[in-house]
Amino acid sequence: MYVRRWPLILALLFMVWLPGAVLPAAAQSSSEFQFTSGQQVYDAACAACHARDGRGQPQSTVGFELPLPDFADCNFASREPDGDWGAITHEGGPARGFSEIMPAYGDALSGDEIQMAIDYIRGFCGDPAWPAGDLNLPRALVTEKAFPEDEAVLTTTIDAEGSGAFRNQLVYEKRFGARNQIELAVPFRFQKPEEGSWNGGIGDVALGFKRTLFHSKGTGSIFSLAGEAILPTGDDGRGLGKGVTVFEPFAAFGQILPSDSFLQFQSGIELPTHSDDAAKEVFWRAVAGKSIAQGRGFGRTWTPMVELLGAKELEDGAKADWDLLPEMQVTLSTRQHIMLNVGVRFPLSNRGPRATQVLFYILWDWFDGGLRDGW
């Protein structure tokens, strides 16, 4: 047993020794020497384990069994924002719930040098079709984002007024290729009519497709078109569905702003197959927010957001419904792939028939690990 442990022990000692031994002594004193390129930083600090081509050295070279990531794999390397890469490089693997075999370089490299190395690593993915992870903006409670994602989201909406009702929706999103995403949304509702007992059931199931048409890390912008087919699976007689198939095309746009702030927009139209049974409706949504990370920017992230939501049926005399939705998203896991968002939706118009609602979701970015990983 002890013999088997020696390769791992030696590997750990090697990784602890690496920042001081592999990096030139002058690199630890920026007044005497500074790297001038990301490749120089990478070759000095990273290539010993991750290889010159970014695909990872073989086990026989590094001496431990832990698989090394492939930086040339665009499906892996393009997804996460620079902040996650920076946290792991500054603080080591445990900063994001990964192995301590990945050492911390925050004392050996400056922030600018670490960013140069990250920029160089990003270049191992040579396909520009993949949107940068920095464009994966925080998910709001209602407004859809433009970035294609692998997520499972359970959202609950509770009426704070009236006889009582709460709705749940489970959304499963699967990304494929560089720009595409498919989606399945299954709603289920429990309600208590003014006269009668509680009842519930599944609502109208939706199938969706999203494709990113434009993205630019330089401008901080991303734009996508999407569409959903909402099927009449719910019992419209009990208020669980519309009783008609509805097609919902929409556009989504995201914009990064200075100081970790952002804007997102979504606009579309609901088109029922039988307009006598359900009205056409246009909707528009906008959200503004700012992310604030604890622990020198490497820890738990809090994201306050405000959504402005509008909708109007395309019928004579119909009035627009406007809502305001302040909310707060927080990362729960160390890996930041499990998140909670809580908000309150206030009607700004037509307040009589529309109740104030409390909303919250639990989000699982399942590509980044299992539910029990990374805590």
Contact (Cβ atoms closer than 8 angstroms) between residue 73 and residue 53:
no
Nearest to 329 by CA among 283, 264, 232, 238: 264
- On whether the CB atoms of residues 264 and 146 are closer than 8 A, the answer is yes
Rounded to whole angstroms, how far apart are CA atoms 308 and 317? Answer: 23
Low-confidence ranges of the chain (pLDDT < 70): 1-33, 163-164, 193-196
- The reply to whether 117 and 154 lie within a common domain is no
pLDDT at 197: 74
Judge whether 212 and 232 are in contact, CB under 8 Å.
no
Residue 8's pLDDT is 36
Q: 298 and 186 share a domain?
A: yes
Boundary of a domain, candidates 99, 122, 145 = 122
Q: What share of the chain is helix, strand, coil (3-state, %, to 5)?
A: 20, 35, 45
- Domain membership flag for residue 220: yes
Q: Is residue 375 part of a domain?
A: no
CB-based contact 312:281 (threshold 8 Å): yes
Tell me: do 86 and 171 sit in the same domain: no
206-216 and 165-176 strand pairing: unpaired
- Token pair of 250, please? 């929409």
Instruction: State the pLDDT at residue 163.
Output: 67
299 and 233 within one domain: yes
Question: Under 8 Å CB-to-CB from 21, ≥6 apart: which residues?
Answer: none
Q: What is the pLDDT of residue 62?
A: 87
Whether residues 182 and 280 fall in one domain: yes
- Which pLDDT score is estimated for 337? 96
**Do residues 93 and 161 share a domain?**
no
| pLDDT score for 218 | 94
How many C-alpha atoms does 89 have within 13 Å on its Cβ side?
Answer: 23
What is the rounded distance in angstroms from the CA atom of residue 72 to the CA atom of residue 130?
Answer: 12
Q: Tell me, what CATH number does 213's domain have?
A: 2.40.160.40
- Start-end of H helices in the chain: 2-21, 38-45, 47-50, 59-62, 74-77, 82-91, 111-122
Residue 128 lies in a domain: no
Examine residue 244 and state whether it is found in any structural domain, yes or no.
yes
Domains of the chain: total: 2
Q: How does pLDDT run across 20-73, given as a tens digit for each residue?
A: 444 443 344 443 557 889 999 999 999 999 999 999 999 888 888 888 999 999
pLDDT of residue 161: 78
* 292 and 302 Cβ atoms separated by less than 8 Å: yes
**103 and 234 assigned to the same domain:** no
**The predicted structure's pLDDT at residue 3:** 38
User: Which tens digit of pLDDT belongs to each residue from 185-234?
Assistant: 999 988 776 666 777 899 999 999 999 999 999 999 999 999 999 999 98
CA-to-CA distance for 238 and 269, rounded, in angstroms? 25
Q: What is the pTM of this model?
A: 0.86
Domain assignment of residue 146, given as a range: 133-368
Would you say residue 127 lies in a domain?
A: no
